Amino acid sequence: MQQFIDAAPGIRLWTEQRGAADTEPLLLVMGAQASGIGWPEPLVDALAAHHRVIRYDHRDTGRSTWPFEERPYRIADLADDVIAVLDGLGIDRAHIVGMSLGGMLAQMVLADHPDRLLSATLISTSALSSTPYTRPDGGTVPADELPGIAPELLELWARPVEDHGRAAEVQRQIEHCRVLAGGQLPFDTDSFRTLAQRVIEHTGHHRTSTAHGRAEHDGMLRTDQLATTEVPSLVICAPADPVFPPPHPQHLAQCVRGASLVEITGMGHALPPAVLKPLATAILSHTGAARG
């Protein structure tokens, strides 16, 4: 079922629900500049066998409002949108699964609205905490000195995005996903081509936005709140992630009180078919345990 939610004055967010209405809600929050269609269908279906699954388009993605050029917003506003989606669908509490920027938004909700969450799963993201990372040998690393984004990816992001037509945009997205995937698993070109085409068809055009990269991001740290949370939390470690490489996931698991850590073999900063089954298994094991 598809539905639009009024998240703020002039802001409408596209949402989709799948699964039985009487099961516990599970909200999927995608990364920067990624629409809800970025969650692969087999993963959504696997989760929807046990949950009322909700995915949605961020502002400036998919079928939601694209307001940034006229009305710039903050990353914090994107976190408020998470609560607006729950409110708009009449959901008091939900499991939340966030990837990349979505994982940061999930941390902000975890910190600011713990009463709205049944559990949190954080995928391929970085801790919103200034707590140092404690290495296995007992040494510490300041949070701001953890490994950075892979140079190949930074070079790709530095290139201007030019409109050379739909086919060229699909190819650009495929090559972007190839770098994001990290190289430990064989790259499934066909699945990422299908995904890129589905996103464009869903959106209705092939234009891209850089709004989330330009949005004000000050005030995102939640060090104390994450260290004292009682929300059951799971961190997914993607060993091939070129955006937040290890030990980012290990650091995140240290920063979030009581968090468990599960590694998905070969996973990078993308969701190819090979990782979907183990990822669904990890998420459902966590939400099932949180249900008690």
- Residues serving a catalytic function are 100, 241, 269
How far apart CA 265 and CA 274 sit, in angstroms, is 9
Which tokens hold the place of 17? Answer: 């629900």
Kindly list the strands in the beta sheet with 25-29, ordered across the sheet, starting from the edge strand earlier in the chain.
2-8, 11-18, 52-56, 25-29, 94-99, 117-123, 233-237, 260-263
Diameter over CA atoms, the chain: 53
CB 244 within 8 A of CB 237: no
Question: Phi/psi at 181 (nearest 5 deg)?
Answer: -65, -25
- The single residue listed with the structure tokens 């409110």 is 87
Residue 138 buriedness (CB in 10 A; 0-12 / 13-18 / 19+): exposed
CB 242 within 8 A of CB 268: yes
Question: Phi/psi at 7 (nearest 5 deg)?
Answer: -85, -30
